[in-house]
Amino acid sequence: MRTEPRLVSLQRRLLLAMAGGFALLLLIISVLLWSYARTAANRINDLPLAGAALAMLERASIGPEGPTIDLPNSAMDILALNTRDRVQYRVFSPTMGEITGTGDLPLPDGMDLSDVPRFYDATYLGAPFRFVIQGRRMNTPSGRDWIVVQVGQTVETRRHDQMSFYLSGMTGLAALSVIGLVCVWIAIRTALAPLRQIAGELRRRDPADLADIPGSPPREIRGLFTAINGFIARLRQNRALTETFIADVAHQTRTSLSALQGHLALAADATDYPEMKARVDKAGRQAARTVRLSNQLLANAMVIHRSDRASLQPLSLCPLVRDTLADLLRDSRMRRIALSFEDEALAPEGDRIRGDALSIREALNNLVENAARHGPADNSILVALENTPGRVVLRVEDAGPGIAEADLARATERFTSLAAATRGSGLGLSIVQAVAEGHDAVLRLSRSRLGGLCAELSFPRLAALMAVLLCWGAGEVPAARAEALSLFSATDAAAMEPLIAAFEARNPGIEVAFTEFHTVDLYKRLRAAAPGTMPDVVISSAMDLQVDLVNRGLARRLALPATHRPPDWAQWRGELFGFTFEPAAVIYDTRFLGAHDLPSNHRDLAQFIRDNEARLTGRIGSYDLRSSGIGYLYATQDSLQGPQAQRLIEVLGRARVRTYCCTADMFAATARGELALAHNVIGSYAATLARGAPHVGLHFFDDYNLVMTRTAFVPRDARAPDLGARFVEFLLSPAGQEVIAAHTPLIPLAPERHPDLPIARRIAERPGAFLAIRLSPSLLTYLDRLKQRDFLRAWDASVLR
Amino acid sequence: MRMLVVEDNEDLAETIVDRLRAEGHSVDRESDGAEASALLRHASFDLVLLDVNLPGRSGYEVLRAMRARDDDTPVIILTARSQIDDRVIGLDAGADDYMIKPVDFRELSARCRVLARRRAGTATNVFTAGSLSFDRRGKRALIDGADAGLKAREIQLLEIMIDNLGRMLSKEEVADRLYTFDETPSLNAVEQLFTRLRRKLDGTPLVIKTARGLGYLAYVSDED
């Protein structure tokens, strides 16, 4: 009856614990869910805000009366998608004042002007609002100025969204928890049922009843069940052994002692001294035998007890045997016996077994004492340790009388002494047998080559944990065969070769197969490539074409280590990565034009050319937009900066601009004196070439200089994408960037980190004047067929007159 | 010999004391550990038989106290326990020998005699066994009065074996004691040394026994 309530309370305890756990989890999750719901609601509702701000900024411009904005319908339409909230907006310039909208909208704390949208919460007219503020730099007559757009919405929808996310989440979780608890309760009940059964069964038992518990329990309980039954079986066995042993001991001891008593009684009754002496001598011998018997009984009991406990430890037999023999030699009775020990045949660590030292000592003592007692006083006893496969053999042999073949089987029975004259207790060999059994060892008795008994105890050898001498890949995995990396590049060999060489040096076993293309050809090749023919890395200077390819899903996402990640403008979707910094520059013939002559901003460039039309006609160079991807990119990006780009095109046309395919040609022409200046050349190349032509100068503008980046991606269907990823990683790694700085004409992504590059110094002179072309879908705008057609038409109309 | 028997069991003590007295020794008996310890501080004995399980202080504690006082009287521990630890503890505590009860008296006598000889050698600097006489200080061995013709190394070896009478020393242990720090011991040389020494000691009761694979043991054979 006492066990029943204990079972139930275990169940209750488990249930309470689980409920507590669930509650705690729910609490933590509810907190997290609340903040997550808020974030989600914000994010959802921020997007239309951002969209509207962008749409508005795009329509901002500098008109004849100053900054103005042609507010697009779309901005308000976007905001109107949120049917609940109220809207506020404001457009202003920090220097030129309010342009339009509600002028007193609250600004964020610590506001700095940026072209990245910034979201913040503020209160306006007593109502909580969410604002976005975003700016844009415009070219004004007084330089570059900011126009800032601020859009705000009330937060009702936001709050509503947050609450609904939270509640639906929590409801689901709560329901789940309740169901979970119910299941747990049922499970516990079911699981504990067999335990109740076992408990009941055991309770009903008589303590003397050591039969197995019947039943076939489920697998998890079976372990306990089998253990209990095993324990009961061992108890049974133990009891049986003890019972027989006690019976044996009783018999032997009583017999021995009664013999002793008998002799002493006779001695006391003796009538003369010689008779008494004879009786007493016999009594003495009987006493010695009784002592020996008792010792052996105790030893036997000890051995059995220890083997029952199964407390075998790893031990080395050799030192144990030596110690035991050294002790035995102290005994004066061993003096004339020639005892020797052999262990040369042992393998190193070959004497390791699992054993109980005390029992083995006892066994060895018995074997040697047996040999000493049954043999002559000058007996030879040889003890040896040797290995057989998987086993360690302890052998004791002597030159005594030995045991006859017929008697060998009986020798180990308890209380059997075979030679009446030298009768021992009869227990010696049976003790050795008991030790053997307890150690999973085998006792073998035979005739020794010395003539007497040979007793061999064969133990299972402890499997030495041999240290497996493996070179665990001694550092790198040796690449037995060279792996090939296929690289398609629209960047010329002079720039790529040092990078390829450096990569191959760092990755022995990888060979880079480099194929060079023109930008447009590369683009077309990849558009048309059949799967299986894709290269492992695609590098090009045409940012827009690369974005197009990646936008079509051709690229694979790469996971770069944090140290290698390029700035945000130089990467898109984690798939396309820029690895250089290439500003557009103007080159000019210093013999013809002075540095101070050159205009400092783009607006003035058109004016400058007009003013010097006479000298400059036919001596200005630019790209042929149809054949140069870079040229087209620079030209279209210029057109995004303001209407002066269009004016420039007209002016260039009037000045009969000469068009070229590439920077190199323009530079050569300038060096030869054919050109006075060339516009939008690739600054990195120009800087390198200028080292060999000191009369060609490099000029940057103060308002902005477009910066393009050479990009790389790993195609999704590449054959060796891991190698490709490794190459891209290398390009972006500090080591790779160092190679770019030191050994190629290209400029590394962060030129300020390489101050010894001369071009880096020039870039540092104009902080903020370098406008990176952002890797984003906006580059796709001018790849639009119509857009491109219209742009080129306008270009042709001006230039090819 | 002056002996002290420390044993709390009356019957056992009586038999041991009587036996030893019958052999001609003068024997004192204590039955309490603390008293025995006190006695040992004042009186000196040639041999102490020390039981382990004593009232007062245990046999080990008495022994340790003795050794801490630099009292190097030979001690034989009598123990009824046969666990390995007991033996190690006893020898570590400084016992010269140990015997397991019940004790065979002949064996006990033999061991006492061995220890007495060991002690006698160090105390008087002259060790005698029948026709053999070894002068420790003079580093000379005489057989029947005449010089035995032992070389220096052989003398050293003889001294080592006499100091460890009745105890087995392995070849390595002998080499350790025989050679100094910067000499390279050669086990072969040790073996040959023993052969030569044994030959020269032939006829004397001092026997140097070889247990092949185990070591060497010296004992005096006339009391067999």
How do residues A45-66 score in pLDDT, each as one tens digit? Answer: 999 999 999 998 988 888 777 7
Q: Kindly report each contact of residues A32-38 with a partner whose C-beta sits within 8 Å and lies 24 or more positions away, as own/partner.
A: A33/A165, A33/A166, A33/A169, A33/A170, A33/A173, A34/A166, A36/A165, A37/A161, A37/A162, A37/A163, A37/A165, A37/A166, A37/A169, A38/A162
Pairing relationship of beta strands A313-316 and A352-355 according to DSSP bridges = antiparallel
End-to-end CA distance of chain A: 112
Distance from CA of A426 to the nearest CA of B (A): 19
From residue A776, how far is each of A545, A560, A569 by CA, in Å? 11, 19, 8
pLDDT tier for residue A427 given thresholds of 50, 70 and 90: low
List, in order, residues 6 or more apart from A739 with CB less than 8 Å away: A498, A499, A502
Q: What is the pLDDT of residues A599-609, one digit of tens each?
A: 888 888 888 88
- Percent of chain A exceeding pLDDT 90 equals 18
Say whether pLDDT at B92 is over 80.
no
CB-CB: which of A325, A332, A341 is closest to B110?
A: A332
**Residue whose structure tokens are 């040229």:** A631
d(C-alpha A582, C-alpha A759), whole Å: 10
Say whether pLDDT at A424 is over 60.
no
**Residue A691 CA, distance from chain mean position:** 48
Average pLDDT score over residue span A763-791: 77
What is the model's pLDDT at position B4?
94
Name, of A159-163, A189-193, A196-200, the range with top average pLDDT.
Answer: A159-163
Chain B residue with CA closest to A362: the answer is B82
Query: Which candidate, A89, A87, A121, places its Cα nearest to that of A103?
Result: A89
pLDDT tier for residue A422 given thresholds of 50, 70 and 90: very low
Q: What is the pLDDT of residues A613-628, one digit of tens each?
A: 888 888 999 998 888 8
Number of other CB atoms surrounding residue A738 within 10 Å: 14
What is the model's pLDDT at position B142?
87
What is the model's pLDDT at position A421?
44
And the tokens for A791? 């742009």
Pairing relationship of beta strands A66-69 and A705-708 according to DSSP bridges = unpaired
Contacts of B19 in chain A (CB under 8 A): none
What is the model's pLDDT at position A703?
86
Say whether pLDDT at B6 is over 50.
yes
What is the model's pLDDT at position A466?
36
**What rounded mean pLDDT belongs to chain A?**
83
pLDDT tier for residue A5 given thresholds of 50, 70 and 90: low
CB-CB: which of A294, A327, A340 is closest to B211?
A: A340
Q: Do B221 and A322 touch (CB under 8 A)?
A: no
Q: What is the pLDDT of residues A370-404, one digit of tens each?
A: 888 888 888 899 999 988 888 889 999 988 887 77
pLDDT tier for residue A471 given thresholds of 50, 70 and 90: very low
d(C-alpha A18, C-alpha A632), whole Å: 67
Q: Directed axis angle between helix A428-438 and helix A357-374, to 10°?
A: 150
d(C-alpha A265, C-alpha A173), whole Å: 94
DSSP A684-727: HHHHHHHTT-TTEEEE--SS-EEEE--EEE-BTT-SSHHHHHHH
Q: Do A329 and B217 touch (CB under 8 A)?
A: yes
Say whether pLDDT at A474 is over 60.
no
Please give the residue that has the higher pLDDT: either A86 or A479: A86
A327 φ/ψ sector (left φ>0, alpha ψ -120 to 50, else beta): alpha
Q: What is the pLDDT of residues A537-587, one digit of tens each?
A: 999 988 989 988 887 778 888 888 888 888 888 988 788 999 999 999 999
Please report the domains of chain A, with CATH numbers, ordered by start residue: 12-164 (3.30.450), 310-460 (3.30.565.10), 484-580+713-740 (3.40.190.10), 583-706+777-799 (3.40.190.10)
pLDDT tier for residue B123 given thresholds of 50, 70 and 90: low
Best of A323, A332, A373 to substitute, by most chain B Cβ atoms within 10 angstroms, is A332
Say whether pLDDT at A505 is over 70.
yes
Query: Which candidate, A461, A404, A428, A158, places its Cα nearest to that of A292?
Result: A428
Q: Do B211 and A330 touch (CB under 8 A)?
A: no
DSSP B98-162: EEESSPPHHHHHHHHHHHHHHHHHHHHSEEEETTEEEETTTTEEEETTEE----HHHHHHHHHHH
Q: What is the pLDDT of residues B131-163, one digit of tens each?
A: 888 887 788 888 888 888 888 888 888 888 888
Find out whether A155 and A128 touch, Cβ atoms under 8 Å: yes
Find out whether B174 and B188 touch, Cβ atoms under 8 Å: no
Average pLDDT score over residue span A238-257: 79
**Residue whose structure tokens are 């001006």:** A798
Chain A residue with CA closest to B208: the answer is A335
Q: What is the pLDDT of residues A105-143, one digit of tens each?
A: 888 888 788 889 999 999 988 889 999 999 988 877 777
Can you say whether the dihedral through the CA atoms of B60, B66, B71, B75 is positive or negative? negative
Distance from CA of A342 to the nearest CA of B (A): 6
CB-CB: which of B102, B213, B215 is closest to A343?
A: B213
ipTM score assigned to the predicted complex:
0.80
Number of residues that this document lists for chain A: 801
Least confident of A507-516, A544-553, A679-688, A715-724: A544-553
What is the model's pLDDT at position B29?
93
What is the model's pLDDT at position A413?
61
Chain B residue with CA closest to A344: the answer is B213
Write out the H or E segment, with its range, that includes residue A752: none
Say whether pLDDT at A250 is over 60.
yes
Name, of A203-217, A251-265, A415-429, the range with top average pLDDT.
Answer: A251-265
Find out whether A209 and A224 touch, Cβ atoms under 8 Å: no
Please state whether the peptide bond connecting residue A531 to the residue before it is cis, i.e. omega within 30 degrees of 0.
Answer: no
Q: What is the CA radius of gyration of chain A?
A: 50
What is the model's pLDDT at position B224?
44
Find out whether B177 and B161 touch, Cβ atoms under 8 Å: no
Number of other CB atoms surrounding residue A29 within 10 Å: 15
What is the model's pLDDT at position A730?
92
CB-CB: which of B102, B107, B214 is closest to A325?
A: B214
Least confident of A12-21, A262-271, A371-380, B79-88: B79-88
- Percent of chain B exceeding pLDDT 90 equals 15
Q: Which strands, in side-by-side order, build the sheet including B26-30?
A: B26-30, B2-6, B47-51, B75-79, B97-100
Q: Do A342 and B219 touch (CB under 8 A)?
A: no
Burial class of residue A70 in the structure, from the number of CB atoms within 10 Å of its CB (0-12 exposed, 13-18 middle, 19+ buried): exposed
Average pLDDT score over residue span A101-105: 81
Q: What is the pLDDT of residues A624-664, one digit of tens each?
A: 888 888 888 999 889 888 788 888 888 888 888 999 888 88
Q: Which residues of A touch B (CB under 8 A)?
A: 288, 291, 294-295, 322, 325-327, 329-333, 335-336, 338-343, 357-358, 361, 383
Say whether pLDDT at A7 is over 80.
no
Q: What residues 151-210 of chain B have any CB closer than 8 A to a CB of chain A?
A: 166-168, 170, 207, 209
Best of B12, B91, B104, B106 to substitute, by most chain A Cβ atoms within 10 angstroms, is B104
Q: What is the pLDDT of residues A291-333, one digit of tens each?
A: 887 877 777 777 777 776 667 788 888 988 998 898 888 887 7
Number of other CB atoms surrounding residue A553 within 10 Å: 9
What is the model's pLDDT at position B159?
87
Query: Which candidate, A87, A75, A105, places its Cα nearest to that of A153?
Result: A87
Least confident of A363-377, A462-476, A494-508: A462-476
Say whether pLDDT at A476 is over 80.
no
Summarize chain A as % helix, strand, coil (round to 5): 50, 20, 30
From residue B121, how far is each of A724, B40, B75, B165, B223 by CA, in Å? 89, 22, 16, 10, 17
What is the model's pLDDT at position A82?
80
Say whether pLDDT at A423 is over 60.
no
Q: Kindly report each contact of residues A505-512 with a partner whose C-beta sits within 8 Å and lies 24 or more positions away, as own/partner.
A: A506/A730, A506/A735, A507/A726, A508/A479, A509/A478, A509/A479, A509/A481, A509/A482, A509/A483, A510/A479, A510/A482, A510/A483, A510/A484, A510/A485, A510/A723, A510/A726, A511/A482, A511/A483, A511/A484, A511/A485, A512/A484, A512/A485, A512/A487, A512/A727
Q: What residues 67-106 of chain B have any CB closer than 8 A to a CB of chain A?
A: 83-84, 87, 97, 102, 104, 106
Q: What is the pLDDT of residues B194-217, one digit of tens each?
A: 999 888 888 888 888 888 888 898
What is the model's pLDDT at position A584?
92
CB-CB: which of B84, B97, B102 is closest to A330?
A: B97
Best of B212, B216, B223 to substitute, by most chain A Cβ atoms within 10 angstroms, is B212
| 3-class secondary structure, A744 | coil
Cα within 13 Å of Cα(A559), Cβ side: 0
**Residue whose structure tokens are 């002592």:** A291
| 3-class secondary structure, A509 | coil
**What rounded mean pLDDT belongs to chain B?**
84
Average pLDDT score over residue span A177-197: 83
Strand partners, A88: A152
List, in order, residues 6 or more apart from B87 with CB less than 8 Å away: A327, B98
Say whether pLDDT at A473 is over 50.
no
